[in-house]
């Protein structure tokens, strides 16, 4: 996470002086934990304000853990934990007991007015003598300026990313709700986008779902430009460009997306490093499905279940595509690669089936097939993004040139079959859908969501 910056020395000295004075007042009157912890609480709260953090006493965290204090930054993200014990307690034993209960140890202070132990990055990092003013200052500086290190492995990054996503999503939703009350530019942009969604996707689409679309876009946009080496995607893709208009309005008053997303650097770095080490397209597909599936499991278990977000193993995708090609050859005297054999994946997910098909088409026929014979639909924003990038990236790898994939539509396949919708999000998307409707589809391939759910 981003460093909060060092504390002002004069302010810190005054805060420490007040801490000792308050402790002295308790001496001989009340030397038990609930009384003396107030002095350290006041010290932490005062110094936290310098770096725009807030100390929240006894806030219940995941798993029912309730520390004496949780420190959050101005994005409401958890930055540190404080646990107080009485002066007569065996601090090391108390720490062991807390660790056994699953206590968070990313940046955590354990103290008993005499000693303090600071855990950082899940390791016992420093000990301080709280009877020494210099060491109290060292403790506070070490605590408030802590920066989480980059995660060493992809597996650990994905696991921790999944755990962190709900907190980040809640913080972003709070920003969106606040700006919707105070930011006239954002209100207008949000309402216009909402109407577009109602006309194009679902007349009953809720504000909560639209909020989620903005959150998903914000939390994953960096991966689009880095993993796929496609920094222009947000500008080139019609749907992403529309959402960016709303995000631009969101950031027009006070919210800074780069400051907020800085807290994700350590996850992005590990995920990006892992992506660079993957050469084969088969492994790359598995990698992307894993990142996306874990993202949604962390972000919204309910939404993941509603839309059946458990992606088809690549071995099954490969088998199904090979089987379709074999049936076309044996029963119809044609093949996937032939011009005019038009194919659709109605629930494309992250694009695994279309990418597999592209992989099977000879290079000299790829451009025609890409431009004319392949179609797919997706109703959820993140898989739509990833499928677009995935398919376009495979084409780029094969032919060495970028070309937008015009065959993908942001729409509900079932709604498309049942209704005559006048508008399908934006003009470019509407044109793509009409082109798909006019196509002579010969093959339907894919794996529909295992659950029944609508936006």
> Cβ-count burial of 303 within 10 angstroms (0-12 exposed, 13-18 middle, 19+ buried)?
middle
CA–CA distances in Å: residue 317 to residues 88, 140, 275, 324, 420: 63, 54, 21, 11, 32
Contact 96, 119 (CB under 8 A): no
* Residue 90, pLDDT score: 92
Helical segments of 251-380, H only: 257-261, 265-276, 281-299, 301-306, 314-332, 352-360, 363-372
Element (H, E) at 29: none
Euclidean distance between CA atoms 260 and 250, whole angstroms = 13
* Residue 333, pLDDT score: 97
* Residue 306, pLDDT score: 44
Question: Which 8-state DSSP code applies to residue 109?
Answer: E
342: alpha, beta or left? (left if phi > 0; alpha if psi -120 to 50): beta
Euclidean distance between CA atoms 90 and 150, whole angstroms = 34
Helix orientation angle between 363-372 and 352-360, rounded to the nearest 10 degrees: 140
Euclidean distance between CA atoms 162 and 166, whole angstroms = 8
Which pTM does this prediction carry?
0.64
pLDDT tens string for the chain (455 positions)?
434 557 888 889 999 999 999 888 877 665 655 667 889 999 999 999 998 899 999 988 877 889 999 998 876 678 899 999 988 889 999 999 999 988 999 899 999 989 999 999 899 999 999 999 999 999 999 999 997 776 666 667 777 777 777 787 888 888 899 899 999 999 999 999 898 888 767 778 889 888 888 888 888 777 766 666 666 777 777 778 888 899 899 888 877 778 777 777 777 777 777 666 555 555 566 666 666 676 666 655 455 444 445 567 778 899 999 999 999 999 999 999 999 999 999 999 888 899 999 999 999 999 999 999 999 998 887 788 888 888 988 898 899 888 889 999 888 787 766 555 445 555 677 788 888 888 999 999 998 765 555 44
* Residue 74, pLDDT score: 73
- Could you count the other beta carbons within 10 Å of the beta carbon of residue 410? 26
Euclidean distance between CA atoms 313 and 321, whole angstroms = 13
> For the domain 9-144, what is the CATH code?
3.90.1570
429: alpha, beta or left? (left if phi > 0; alpha if psi -120 to 50): alpha
> Starting at the edge strand that comes first in sequence, how are the strands of the sheet with 408-410 ordered?
408-410, 374-378, 342-345, 441-444
Which residue spans of the chain are classified as CATH 3.90.1570?
9-144
């Amino acid at each position: 996470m981003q460093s909060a910056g060092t504390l002002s020395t004069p302010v810190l000295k005054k805060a420490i002086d007040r801490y000792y004075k308050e402790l002295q007042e308790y001496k001989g009157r009340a030397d038990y934990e609930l009384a003396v912890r107030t002095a350290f609480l006041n010290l932490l709260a005062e110094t936290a304000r310098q770096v725009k953090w807030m100390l929240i006493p006894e806030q219940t965290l995941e798993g029912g853990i309730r520390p004496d204090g949780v420190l959050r930054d101005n994005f409401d993200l958890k930055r540190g934990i404080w646990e107080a014990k009485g002066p007569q307690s065996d601090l090391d034993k108390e720490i062991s007991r807390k660790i056994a209960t699953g206590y968070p140890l990313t940046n955590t202070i354990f103290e008993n007015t005499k000693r303090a132990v600071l855990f950082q990055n899940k390791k016992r990092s420093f000990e301080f003598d709280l009877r020494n003013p210099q060491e109290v200052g060292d403790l506070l500086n070490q605590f408030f300026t802590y920066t989480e290190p980059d995660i060493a492995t992809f597996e650990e990054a994905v696991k921790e990313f999944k755990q962190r996503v709900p907190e980040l999503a809640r913080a972003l939703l709070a920003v969106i709700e606040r700006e919707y009350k105070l930011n006239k530019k954002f209100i207008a942009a949000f309402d216009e986008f909402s109407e577009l969604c109602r006309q194009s996707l679902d007349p009953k689409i809720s504000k909560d779902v639209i909020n989620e679309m903005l959150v998903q876009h914000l939390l994953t946009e960096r991966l689009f430009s880095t993993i796929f080496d496609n920094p222009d995607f947000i500008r080139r893709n019609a749907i992403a460009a529309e959402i960016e208009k709303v995000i631009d309005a969101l950031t027009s008053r006070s919210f800074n997306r780069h400051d907020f997303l800085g807290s994700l650097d350590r996850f992005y770095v590990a995920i990006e490093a892992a992506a660079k080490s993957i050469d084969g397209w088969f492994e790359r597909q598995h990698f992307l499905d894993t990142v996306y599936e874990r993202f949604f499991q962390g972000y919204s278990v309910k939404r993941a279940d509603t839309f059946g977000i458990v992606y088809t193993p690549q071995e099954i995708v490969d088998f199904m595509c090979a089987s379709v090609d074999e049936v076309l050859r044996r029963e119809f005297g044609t093949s996937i690669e032939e011009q005019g054999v038009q194919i659709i994946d109605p629930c494309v997910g992250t694009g695994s089936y279309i990418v597999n098909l592209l992989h099977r088409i000879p290079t000299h026929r790829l451009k025609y097939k890409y431009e004319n014979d392949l179609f797919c639909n997706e109703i959820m924003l993140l898989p739509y993004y990833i499928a677009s990038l995935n398919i376009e990236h495979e084409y780029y790898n094969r032919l060495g040139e970028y070309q937008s994939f015009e065959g993908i539509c942001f729409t509900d396949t079932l709604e498309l079959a049942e209704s005559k919708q006048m508008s399908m999000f934006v003009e470019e998307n509407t044109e793509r859908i009409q082109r798909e409707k006019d196509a002579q589809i010969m093959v339907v391939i894919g794996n529909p969501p295992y659950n029944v759910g609508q936006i």
